[in-house]
Copies of this chain bind each other. A is one copy, B any other.
């Protein structure tokens, strides 16, 4: 049975793997200073219309988050995040382990707004007795599958400018966001509107890897020092350059994300047709239907894998189904057929 547990259950897209194989015996220097990384950096700068951006390649999302936050914030500064934010919930206190407070605030849809940001700011009096919020952390898609619009991100940018805050966008699932039907953002928009964002590879067809794009007037000069100090500098850095070049040179990245979204929507529509509700609409590759526990258990007995998002009541549970670049359409149809058998 197909696993809908996550979008990193397989290895890499075959073309990514092929690129690694093709370049395998090249000799390069280490740590991301090689020509393969430089090529990928140029590609990213071009796609982002950001010729002055720094591009750093890291292995995973938690690394990208903790290194960026440690590199940009002074020790007394804090980051504002939605209560569902990955940095707030699913990184074992990685941000606090770098010394920084995460100021979280309840967000019904996983997104931050200027009003939410300003609520957090209003709780801080600007004196030495409190941390100084200095960064807004958002993710696109969010941890619950929602997607930012350009207007929303522009509003956050204005809010950040008004309050001297950095805007950092976690793009672990950026492919799914940028190919979502509700999206109207582009890579150049992201580069223009955020101070730092990343293009997530791990969850969209790479073996691993996140490409961090650093813009704006943030502390930049010693970013690589922070990477090294936090164990986030890959010795054979060119593995990241090779992969991102393969992902981005001709649109493979977006093709894969579109496929993930399309299969997710087919899953959603089929489940709705079977009468199960989706209280939180998600226009991306994570779907959160509410199923009777009896149905959930039958799916599991059939061998399906997925995560439980939260219990809804004593007899119902919201589960999470995730599709990826590699989800076969047939697996979706089979799941829907099997679900129809449950009761």
Contacts and interface: CB of A to CB of B under 8 A. Distances in A.
B76 A128 contact: no
Interface in A80-125: 89-94, 96-97, 99-102, 123
Contacts of A131: 92-93, 96
Interface string A316-339: 000000000010000000000000
Nearest to A26: B10
Interface of A: 2-3, 5-6, 8-12, 14, 17, 20-21, 23-31, 59-63, 65-67, 70, 74-76, 78, 89-94, 96-97, 99-102, 123, 128-132, 202-203, 207-208, 222, 224-236, 239, 305, 326
23 contacts: A6-B29, A6-B30, A11-B25, A11-B236, A59-B234, A60-B234, A66-B231, A75-B93, A75-B229, A76-B93, A76-B226, A91-B129, A91-B228, A92-B228, A93-B131, A93-B229, A94-B229, A94-B231, A96-B99, A96-B101, A97-B99, A101-B102, A207-B239
Max chain B CB contacts within 10 Å: which of A61, A123, A202, A233? A233
A130 B92 contact: yes
Contacts of A61: 235
Given A10-B27, A96-B96, 15 more contacts: A3-B27, A6-B29, A10-B25, A61-B235, A62-B231, A75-B97, A89-B123, A92-B130, A92-B229, A93-B101, A97-B229, A202-B236, A207-B236, A208-B235, A231-B231
A6 B24 CA distance: 15
Contact of A128 (B66, B224, B326): B224
